[in-house]
Each structure stands twice: as structure tokens, then as C-alpha cells.
């Protein structure tokens, strides 16, 4: 039996859907029953990491925990002490769950971390690799790295097999936030000053990430390791927008504004982080993931972009 936490979240739901399609025995852990439950999934509800409450019933008979639940990254965090809030959920809540899992006889604990553990950007021509020393910058990334270190310590004390997965930005059917905003702008024909961005960024399709996570849940060589996750193909912001527009069957209206001018404009508007996300490079090398697990991303970028666009158009067509 596999227990998936955060089962109503974007990644958790993707893992559950793939697991049930493969006929695996899975259980979802959520605060409340999702409006659209994944068919074939049993849910344990009323569970929260913040309270560190007992997970005994959810962990009964479980061999593997896939932990996707977290306090997610927030650009405008209004908490009085954001790091304390992230630590409460992402560190203390995670370790409490892992301790209870070890006590319940769970064999393996797969932890969804973040590429942000490595930093916010990569230099020209050099992607992050698993050999790079962590250098988290923001409070979310710091909490994820602290959870990783605490899990490794727990693994040494208990024998629990810990596997850490650090994905880049995830996209796929049902994606929200910035990716959904890009689809909205493209479909409306909004002119975007993003036609001359020559950065390189790694992304990971939801189906690729779910496949990797499920591989990590069972592969003998995954125990005790950390894996970077991406599609294995890097895109500039300009290229991403053009390929996403093609998936939406619309024309991308991209104005070739130099990245330097965008950075100046963003600073003037008090939004320097926006320019960094659009113009900086953030690449990962998944060579170790491929070699250790004999794994290749099963879904191509354009295939997942088409699936993402079709899901988006279906939803707005119903609204």
C-alpha cells in the first residue's frame, strides 16, 4: 500500500491518478475529501501536518509514503514570521509524519522537495547537478532543505529508506498560477514584451514527475538518494510561450524587448522578482537520475503542453 499526502494538490493528485491507472494500491491523505476524488482511491481525511496529529489509521498497512503535502512557496507571504510558518509545516510536520511512519513499519519515505534548495538561478552554460552544494535563498527553500537534513538523520536512526526528489517548475493539466496566467494572456492575444528572452529553464511535466516519484517508491537503487527532476529539455521563456501558443492553436504576440530593459522596468515597478523569473536561467542536469534509476522522461514537452492546453480550454469552455 502507498500513502500519498497532499492528495488533493496538483502533484499529489497526479501521482494518485497514475498509480490507480497502474493498478497500484494507494491511499490519499487530505484535510477534506476532494470535490472530484480520484477514482479507485481510498481517502483518509481530517489530516493536517500543522497539528502533528496521529496518522496511525492512515499509515496502517502502508509500505511507502509519498509526501507531497507542504506549505507551498508564496511570493507575497503576509505571515509575521514566514520562516517559522514554513518550518511548522515543512519541517516539524514532515518529521513528525516520518517518525510515525517509521514506528508503523513503513519501509520507504519519498519526499517531494524543490530545485530551489540549490538556489534561484544558474549561471550561463552550467546547470545544477546533484553534486552541487545546496544554497537555498528564500524561506520556503530553507524549510525544504532543513526537512531534507532532518529526514536523513531520521533515516540513520531508524532504518527508514528516505528518497528525496527535487523538481523544477511543474506543469500539466490543471496547472494554476503563472502557467495558467500565460495561457490566459496568449489566448486573449495580449502583446507580451517577451520575444527576445534567451535564457534557459528546465521544466517538468506532471506525468513525468509522477512517473519518477512512483519509480522512486519501488526502485531498489533509489533508497537513500536525492534526484533532480525535469523533462530533460530546456526552454527559453520566448520558446515556451511560442510552443504553448501552438498548443492553444493561437498566435503568440511577442514583442522583442531586451532582457536588460525588462529588468529595468520591473525594478521601476517594484517587481524585480518578476524579471528574474522571466529572464534568469534555471537548469538542472538529470544525468544522475537517468543513470541511477535507468529512467527517462516518458512524456515529451509538446505532448504535455497540448494536454495542458486542452484541459485549460475545456475548463474555460464550461465556465
**pLDDT of 73 higher than 80:** no
**Confidence grade of residue 177 (pLDDT, cut at 50, 70, 90):** confident
Catalytic residue among 86, 140, 145, 312: 140
Q: Is 145 a catalytic residue?
A: no
User: What is the average pLDDT across 163-173?
Assistant: 97
pLDDT number for residue 80: 73
The answer for 109, left when phi > 0, alpha when psi is -120 to 50, beta otherwise, is: beta
**pLDDT of 109 higher than 60:** yes
- Rounded Cα–Cα distance for residues 29 and 39 (Å): 15
| 130 contact partners, CB below 8 Å, separation of at least 6 | 226, 227, 228, 285, 288, 289
Indicate the average pLDDT of the chain.
93
Q: What domains appear along the chain, each with residue ranges and CATH number? A: 2-171+203-231 (3.40.50.720)
pLDDT tens string 222-232: 999 999 999 99
Between the two ends of the chain, the Cα-to-Cα distance in Å is 37
pLDDT tens string 262-315: 999 888 888 888 888 899 999 999 999 999 999 999 999 999 999 999 999 998
pTM of the full predicted structure?
Answer: 0.94
pLDDT number for residue 54: 79
Q: Please, are residues 110 and 67 in contact by the beta-carbon 8 Å criterion?
A: yes
User: What is the average pLDDT across 180-197?
Assistant: 95
Amino acid at each position: 500500500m502507498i500513502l500519498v499526502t497532499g492528495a488533493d494538490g496538483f502533484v499529489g493528485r497526479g501521482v494518485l491518478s497514475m498509480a490507480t491507472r497502474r493498478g497500484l494500491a494507494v491511499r490519499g491523505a487530505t484535510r477534506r475529501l476532494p470535490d472530484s476524488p480520484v477514482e479507485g482511491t481510498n481517502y483518509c481525511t481530517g489530516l493536517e501536518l500543522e497539528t502533528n496529529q496521529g496518522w496511525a489509521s492512515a499509515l496502517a498497512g502502508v509500505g511507502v509514503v509519498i509526501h507531497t503535502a507542504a506549505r507551498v512557496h508564496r511570493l507575497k507571504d503576509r505571515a509575521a514570521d514566514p520562516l517559522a510558518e514554513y518550518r511548522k509545516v515543512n519541517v516539524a510536520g514532515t518529521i513528525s509524519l516520518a517518525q510515525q511512519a517509521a514506528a508503523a513499519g513503513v519501509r520507504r519515505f519519498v519526499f517531494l522537495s524543490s530545485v530551489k534548495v540549490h538556489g534561484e538561478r544558474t549561471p550561463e552554460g552550467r546547470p545544477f547537478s546533484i553534486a552541487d552544494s545546496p544554497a537555498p535563498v528564500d524561506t520556503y527553500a530553507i524549510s525544504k532543505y532543513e526537512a531534507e537534513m532532518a529526514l536523513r538523520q531520521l533515516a540513520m536512526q531508524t532504518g527508514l529508506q528516505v528518497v528525496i526528489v527535487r523538481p523544477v517548475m511543474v506543469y500539466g493539466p490543471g496547472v494554476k498560477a503563472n502557467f495558467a496566467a500565460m495561457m490566459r494572456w496568449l489566448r486573449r492575444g495580449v502583446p507580451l514584451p517577451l520575444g527576445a528572452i534567451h535564457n534557459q529553464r528546465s521544466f517538468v511535466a506532471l506525468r513525468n514527475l509522477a512517473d519518477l516519484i512512483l519509480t522512486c517508491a519501488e526502485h531498489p537503487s533509489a533508497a537513500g538518494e536525492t534526484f533532480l527532476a525535469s523533462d530533460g529539455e530546456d526552454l527559453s521563456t520566448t520558446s515556451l510561450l511560442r510552443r504553448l501558443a501552438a498548443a492553444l492553436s493561437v498566435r503568440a504576440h511577442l514583442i522583442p524587448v531586451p532582457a536588460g530593459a525588462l529588468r529595468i522596468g520591473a525594478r521601476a515597478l517594484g517587481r524585480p522578482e518578476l524579471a528574474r523569473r522571466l529572464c534568469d536561467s534555471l537548469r538542472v542536469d538529470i544525468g544522475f537520475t537517468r543513470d541511477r534509476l535507468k529512467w527517462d522522461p516518458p512524456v515529451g514537452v509538446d505532448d504535455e503542453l497540448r494536454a495542458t492546453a486542452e484541459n485549460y480550454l475545456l475548463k474555460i469552455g464550461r465556465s
